[in-house]
Structure 1
């Protein structure tokens, strides 16, 4: 369950570095700089106890117009580059 959500940097547009796990026979992270994003932090709450059990971070890209239509995010979300 999601609890409190707050915008990092007050929810203003900011720069970020994002790191993703890559599929290799060993643990590898691919990190890249993202110049125009909004970053949010959310508490993850235990449904029964209502206690915070973790904290998640979401990075929202503001311009995807140059991305490939085959990017995994578009495939998963049923979207296309440049769409809201």
Structure 2
């Protein structure tokens, strides 16, 4: 269950750099720039007690027309450019953006 949600940089569309872990026997990051995104942070709550159990960060891509049509977020839709794709940033992934 999602609790309070805060838009980073006031929820404005911005550019960021994100780095994802790759599958190697040692820690290696693959980093890339993402031109039009909104970034949100939110509390994740226990559905029964409503107690905070974690804190998450999500990235929402506002412009997907240049995206790979086989990307997981787009295969659930009709294709690139037809949706805004949001996803969680997982443990040990990095994101650089403007500071609030």
Q: TM-score range by the shorter chain?
A: 0.7 to 0.9
Unaligned runs of 5+ in 1: none
Aligned to 2:45: 45
Equivalent runs, 1:56-75 vs 2, <5 Å: 56-75=56-75
Aligned to 2:82: 83
Instruction: Report the Cα offset of residue 17 of structure 1.
Output: 1.8
Instruction: Report the Cα offset of residue 35 of structure 1.
Output: 2.0
Aligned to 2:98: none
Aligned to 2:97: none
Unaligned runs of 5+ in 2: 84-100
Residues in 1 aligned to 2:26 and 2:72: alpha-carbon distance in whole angstroms = 21
What is the number of equivalent residue pairs in this alignment?
83
TM norm structure 1: 0.81
Instruction: Report the Cα offset of residue 19 of structure 1.
Output: 2.1
Q: Secondary structure at the match of 2:31?
A: strand
TM norm structure 2: 0.70
